[in-house]
Structure 1
Amino acid sequence: MGDMLSDIIGAHAPLKIVSLRPDNLAAIDFRIMKVFPAFNIIETGLRSGDIRANTTIVETSSGTMALGLAIVCMHFGLKLHIFGDHAIERPLKRTIEELGAEVHLVDAAASDANVQLLRKQALLNFMDRTGATWSRQYDNLSNCLSYARPAEEAIRQFGKIDVMVATVGSGGSSCGLAHYCRAFFHEMKLVGIDTFGSVLFGQPPGRRDLRGLGNSILPGNLFHEAFDEIHWLGANEAYQAAHRLHRETSLKRGPTSGAAYVVAKWYAERFPRSKVLAVFPDDSQRYEHNVYNPAWIRDHGYRPELAAIEPILIPHPIRPNGGWCRFDWNRRSLSDVMGLHIPQTEGYCSGYLGRDLH
């Protein structure tokens, strides 16, 4: 199993720490980050007997986890069905299908507020008919546990980490990396990045033009008490950030990596004595026809002069200003921060499993 993991990582998710400017800034550059949780979830299931050679795996994903699972399931010879939406573009859909998976797209716009619930319902209907096994990326503890190796590599290459900046979707990478890194650096700050219309940190559900981070459900792998500060970025800010990352570093990555870059760079410039590590989860391959297409950017009204270049400090998550804003979370629970204003949304798991990480 260990040799297979090394081979998959070497091919799809090589662990590299990239030094950036200013000198106190670096990034852990994953390319296809979801290979780590996909492998750990499947391998753990095989070891426990919950997954067998003839098991059909199902998952809901907007693309990245789908690709990670397709890569891993192909190596293990497992059948895979992905329930996604139109955020999975045709080239990515073809790639996943060529690896042997089947992709089912719900009939909804990728930015609809309820698209994840529609995907989940389609998945549950399929499970009722077939008896398939759900890998449950949002509340499977193996998601968080999969980031021990990346955390070890980050510490080995970068040394002490004062601030980690990570985008948040399932909560697996941000909370998993923070958990392992804080075993060595207890005071390390964790800065999470969300987007408007996402319910992860207290905002009401709404249209999300920016995909790849944020969520319309509350995942069980999201440990709110792990976060020191939360930033919200709009789609235009993240798209322009991806271009800025490319121009300033030569790294051509997706908008979630761009979002991590601009927030981490803001921190590094503001606190020059702190070593800041950004988490880059995605490459640019699936964004060549939109985010990196000048005609698409122009036609959709995304303009660099309209993008916020500094975060606005807000007094409460329920009242965002749009563009780019931030809030001092101070390692509190969602209920402590929100009081009676917790958004009504369907979650995958009622409690967080991160307290049981070992």
Structure 2
Amino acid sequence: MRSGARQSAATATVHEHITDAVKTPDLIRLDGEVVLARFETMKVYAALGAVRSLLRRGRVVPGQTLVDSSSGIYAVALAMACHRYGLRCHIVASTTVDATMLAQLEILGATVDQMPPSQSLRLDQELRVRHVRQLLAERPDFHWMRQYHDAVHHEGYREFAELLDASLPEGPLTVVGAVGTGASTGGLARALRESGRAVRLVGIQPFGSVTFASEQFSDPEAIIAGIGSSIPFGNVHHELYDTVHWLDFRHAMAGAVGLLRRHAVFAGLSTGAAHLAASWEAARDPGRLHLVLGADTGHRYAERVFTRHAEALDPAGLRPRPIASLDALRPPWSVMEWGRRGAPEAARLPEQGGAPAPVPTVEMQP
């Protein structure tokens, strides 16, 4: 913590709205120079920052309806931001959104169109994007948030960067987090670098994601929300990333169960994957502070991951396979120095010289 920053157990902040409380992470020291930023839902930063910016610039006005497609976490964050600022919210929900999340959205005042069960993630995505386009054709007054393309979703993470600068010691920092939409890791790293801090950015990917060229692989068990994509995302700026780790479901599970077992932190699979990668990174670079982004809690993985804890691999025995080129990429865990290079061809949008692709809608989800 920087000199001058103080914490008192006798005081607490009274927030004006739940979004202010939810967006603030708990900073928890794990092993040595590894610190976890543990969120209830990190996407509140993206939703709040985007809504505030859109209102300030007059792109939306109070009472207008904001619409987007989601598998749930961004949907709740957007509904909360709309609740705060007097906007309406309409969600085109994945078939995977459960009854608990649907109830939250409806009570918050959001209207929800949930897609019927489908045979694959890709089909679920296509159904939703088709429905969004139909809504926009019928209701041109709706504003499409486009969380995977609109750079406005990076803006909220500047506030998070300011919090970290005030809370963490000065000096070099390695940020380790799931890539997903690109907004959290990219927005945070850019803001920290602009403040003058030396930041190494380590991105986490699943096998089967086009974002960093692992689309040729299949991981049948993968249910890691918010970490990869089967289609290009405009908000991912590949030139911001120094290193990329690709992990399969069983390694992410090992990281998540290990985090709970060793540190009593109940967090999602993307956090587990980032924790595992950060532990390996920190062992190779002792003395440098490593920050793990814990995007959400483990509740939605309780049945399919944590009840299977007896099956979890021991993190202490796991190591990645270092590779020098994407041709050598292999499951279950590979790591490569990305070196802030540009996007692989399949991850480029048409205007970047890539092949035409359907409009992005959601993160990878069961």
TM above 0.5: yes
Name the SS of the counterpart of 2:279 in structure 1. Answer: helix
RMSD: 2.9
Match of 2:9 in 1: none
For residues 5-53 of structure 1, what are the alpha-carbon distances to aligned partners after superposition, in whole Å with 9 as ceiling and x for unaligned? 96334432223321111x1110222221111111121122222222122
* Structure 2 counterpart of 1:269: 283
Higher mean alpha-carbon deviation, 215-224 vs 102-111, is at 102-111
Contact 1:204 1:318 in 2 (8 A): no
| Alpha-carbon distance, 1:185 to partner | 4.6
Match of 1:63 in 2: 72
In 2: Cα distance, 1:102 partner to 1:319 partner: 46
Q: 1:281 to 1:338 in 2, by over 3 A?
A: closer
1:1-358 correspondence runs (5 A): 7-21=17-31, 23-109=32-118, 112-131=121-140, 132-159=142-169, 160-185=171-196, 187-204=198-215, 208-294=222-308, 303-305=311-313, 309-317=318-326, 320-335=329-344, 344=355, 346=357, 348=359
Q: Relative to 1, partners in 2 of residues 1:150 and 1:316: Cα closer, same or farther, differing over 3 Å?
A: same
> Equivalent residue of 2:37, what SS?
strand
> Which shows bigger deviation, 160-169 or 316-325?
316-325
Q: Is the 8 A contact 1:24 1:276 kept in 2?
A: yes
> Partner of 1:276: helix, strand, or coil?
strand
Equivalent-residue separation in structure 2 for 1:209 and 1:343 (angstroms): 27
Partner SS for 1:310: coil
Q: SS of the counterpart of 1:334?
A: coil
Aligned length: 338
What TM-score results when the alignment is normalised by the length of structure 2?
0.83
Shift of 1:104: 2.3
Q: Is the 8 A contact 1:203 1:318 kept in 2?
A: no
Distance of aligned partners of 1:109 and 1:155 in 2 relative to their CA distance in 1, 3 Å threshold: farther
Following the alignment from structure 1 to structure 2, what is the Cα–Cα distance between the partners of residues 196 and 343?
Answer: 20
Taking every aligned residue pair, what percent have the same amino acid on both sides?
A: 28
User: What whole-Å deviation, never above 9, does each CA across 1:78-115 have from its counterpart, x for those lacking one?
Assistant: 22111232332222222222211122233354852353
Moved more, 82-91 or 230-239: 82-91
Counterparts of 1:317 and 1:93, CA distance in 2:
40
- Cα deviation for residue 319 of structure 1 reads 5.0
SS in 2 for 1:261: helix
TM-score calculated relative to the size of structure 1: 0.85
Structure 1: gaps of 5 or more residues: 350-358
Mind listing any 5+ residue stretches in structure 2 that lack a counterpart? 1-12, 361-366
Residues 237 and 16 of structure 1, relative CA distance in 2, 3 Å threshold: same
Distance 1:95 1:337, change over 3 A: closer
For 1:355, the equivalent position in structure 2 comes to none
In 1, distance between residues paired with 2:239 and 2:14?
Answer: 34
Pick closer, same or farther for the CA change 1:312–1:29 going to 2, 3 Å.
same
User: What's the CA shift for 1:136?
Assistant: 1.2
Amino acid at match of 1:287: Y
CA distance in structure 2 between the aligned counterparts of 1:184 and 1:44, rounded to whole angstroms: 21
Q: CA deviation at 1:198?
A: 0.9
Q: 1:182: Cα distance to partner?
A: 1.1
Query: What's the CA shift string for 1:166-204, capped at 9, x where partnerless?
Result: 111110001100001112455421000011111111232
